[in-house]
Chain A
Amino acid sequence: MPLLSVVDLHTHFRTPEGELRAVDGVSLTVDKGESVGLVGESGCGKSTLGKAVLRLVQPTSGSVGFDGEEVSRLPADALGPFRRRAQMIFQDPFSSLNPRHTIERILTAPLYVHGIGDRAERKRRVPRMIEQGGLPLSSLSRYPHEFSGGQRQRIGIARALILGPELVVCDEPVSALDLSIQAQILNLLVEMKREYGLSYLFISHDLSVIRYFANRVLVMYLGRIVESAAGADLWARPLHPYTRALIQAIPDPARRRQAAPIGGDIASPLDIPKGCRFHPRCPIATSICTKVDPALVRHGDGHEAACHHAGQLTRPPEA
């Protein structure tokens, strides 16, 4: 049984301009000890999905099963045990730490909120965690502004892990960091995974980071998963034209001065195109793509794609 099992999840928002379908029918699983990468561009709904899984936003419909228990409709006062086992690491290490609290207070808060340990036990756990995060003990009496971006992200990680969670949703954990710091944080996340047997849902817009970090990759476009495969399989054999475009858009010395793989902008989630939601930007779209919304179907072992022309590199002739 997977640790996390999401079925047909929808998260819609009411806005003055109409209904915004941020997450529009997503199913996924994360097995115990697995690291699942979720990749997509801004506006595709990946952050909302991460938050909906953790009940930081309320899903509109669908189910979220965690270790066999349905959590999407638990009343707020019954969420405690779930929250202890499922935590989040945020993108921005500047705005996600309270500037007026010391690091000790920031790390003690989750223990306090969840009523874990007595004062003495908390005093033992906090220093151990900060050292595992790779920061000196003297950090505890300091404030967030005294740390660099990379160090703050270490604090964010320590705060998420101090409760001993099983699932951690990482929302763009290295996007705000310089390249020389990204590797430090990715290595720390891998080390923590080994140490605690964590499962990750790892959200990023950066395919190369996902490529390093994930066992399985989900590609999201306008509120839907459009392709899902084991990492190696996805790079070797991308079936969806959007996945192919994402891979080809990574700047690469081997593609010296090559033209951009696709044109156009991602459509608005307020006005999702009819048929396949990718068809206005798709280089191989045909008339069926403007009419019929393709379902995610299997194309071999553990590889799924939602495309009428999956795996084809050029536009097929119209019937």
Chain B
Amino acid sequence: MSKAPLLDVSGLTIAFPGGTPVADFGFRVAAGETVAVVGESGSGKSLTALAIMRLLPRTARIATGTVRFQGRDLFALPEPEMRKVRGREIAMIFQEPMTSLNPVLTVGKQIAEVLRLHEGLSAESARKRAIELLDLVRVADPHRRVDDFPHRLSGGMRQRVMIAMAVACTPKLLIADEPTTALDVTIQAQVLDLLESLRRDLGMALMLITHDLGIVGQWADRVVVMYAGRGAEEAEAAALLGDPLHPYTRGLLAASPRLDASLHYTAGTLREIPGSISSAIGEPGCPFVPRCPLAQPSCRTAPPPLMPVRPGRLLACPPVAATLEPIDAAAVGR
């Protein structure tokens, strides 16, 4: 590895009373890179993001693992230090722009608050900067919009305001948790387009949490597939979509109508993944075993770790790995 990654999550286990929704999970993000974390509800992708920000609910406990950001162990930072990281170096936007904005403050005040807190700007210059930021996130008529309350804005506009707040201090990493799931497709395209140009212009890295494989293919450099709290597969986006290896990823791609324009109900049924993610609860082996067409008795003994199988590719499925050409582990690195 030539350079230390910007973000290095390793061996992360998040425990709640009654379960461990994230177990031994890890991935890295390099500076300026877009990494997608993909999974369905209950896969633990949002909890992982909250753990990185140290914003987990009180009932949660980090059982094992570290999060290193620019070499610093975030879990070891005192809270006042962490507060300087949050918002200034790592920022986060959420799925629901309706509930993440304060309804009784104008959007200008909310953006200005970030700048006054982290950059110590005066009220006047913070407002000026807020208008510039609204312009940066392509809100039309920013001079007027800055004094609007959130309820006056459409869903797409609100998400732009959230993005303006998030990039106000030019963070090195932006975590976007399903940023477009609540938006219409034409608005979704605008917001993803905006995130991409901000990433490029501000030199940010982007951790994009999504359930949408189309978004992964169009916007991500690398992708980590999560299933029931564990990493299932990691690869470059094009490699993952072109040649998925994990039975779960294969199933998702086959089940997805969007990636195959020729599929029509009159021509055949969609391939299903049987059952649901809840079947992973209490499974001592691979969490996907109850739904897996390739499951073997050995899959039920212990959860398989992510292992290098090809250059730049990790896979947590020994039965599939056994069918691949053996690789020179030293040449793969990690």
Count A interface residues, CB 8 Å. 50
Interface SS of chain B: helix
Q: Which of A22-30, A260-268, A308-316 contacts B (4 or more CB under 8 A)?
A: A260-268
CA distance A248 to B186 in the complex (A): 9
CA distance A271 to B276 in the complex (A): 44
B257 adjacent to A257 (CB under 8 Å): no
A253 adjacent to B237 (CB under 8 Å): yes
A150 adjacent to B218 (CB under 8 Å): no
Binary per-residue interface labels of chain A (220-254) against chain B in the complex, 1 for a CB within 8 Å, 0 otherwise:
00000000000110010000000001101111111
A67 at interface, CB cutoff 8 A = no
B214 at interface, CB cutoff 8 A = yes
Count the A-B residue pairs with Cβ separation under 8 angstroms: how many? 133
B185 at interface, CB cutoff 8 A = yes
A249 adjacent to B186 (CB under 8 Å): yes
A246 adjacent to B185 (CB under 8 Å): yes
A251 adjacent to B193 (CB under 8 Å): no
Interface SS of chain A: helix
A187 adjacent to B270 (CB under 8 Å): yes
List residues of chain B with CB within 8 A of the CB of A250: 185, 214, 258
CA distance A311 to B29 in the complex (A): 44
A41 adjacent to B276 (CB under 8 Å): no
List residues of chain B with CB within 8 A of the CB of A167: none
- Shortest distance between the CB of B317 and any CB in chain A (Å): 17
A56 at interface, CB cutoff 8 A = no
Q: Which of A87-95, A203-211, A293-301 contacts B (4 or more CB under 8 A)?
A: A203-211
B264 at interface, CB cutoff 8 A = yes
B82 at interface, CB cutoff 8 A = no
List residues of chain B with CB within 8 A of the CB of A180: 40, 251-252, 255, 272-273, 276-277
List residues of chain B with CB within 8 A of the CB of A235: 261
A183's partner among B196, B214, B272 (CB-CB below 8 A) is B272
Instruction: Tell me which residues from 270 to 304 in chain B have a Cβ below 8 Å from any Cβ of chain A.
Output: 270-274, 276-278
Interface of A toward B, CB cutoff 8 Å: 35, 41-42, 148, 150-151, 178-184, 186-187, 190-191, 193, 205-209, 211-213, 215, 231-232, 235, 245-246, 248-263, 265-266
Nearest 10 pairs between A and B by C-beta?
A: A253-B217, A208-B258, A251-B214, A41-B184, A260-B189, A178-B40, A183-B255, A183-B270, A212-B257, A249-B189
Kindly list 7 other residue pairs between chains A and B, CB separation below 8 angstroms, not including A183-B272, A211-B261, A251-B218: A150-B276, A179-B256, A186-B265, A205-B185, A231-B264, A246-B186, A251-B192
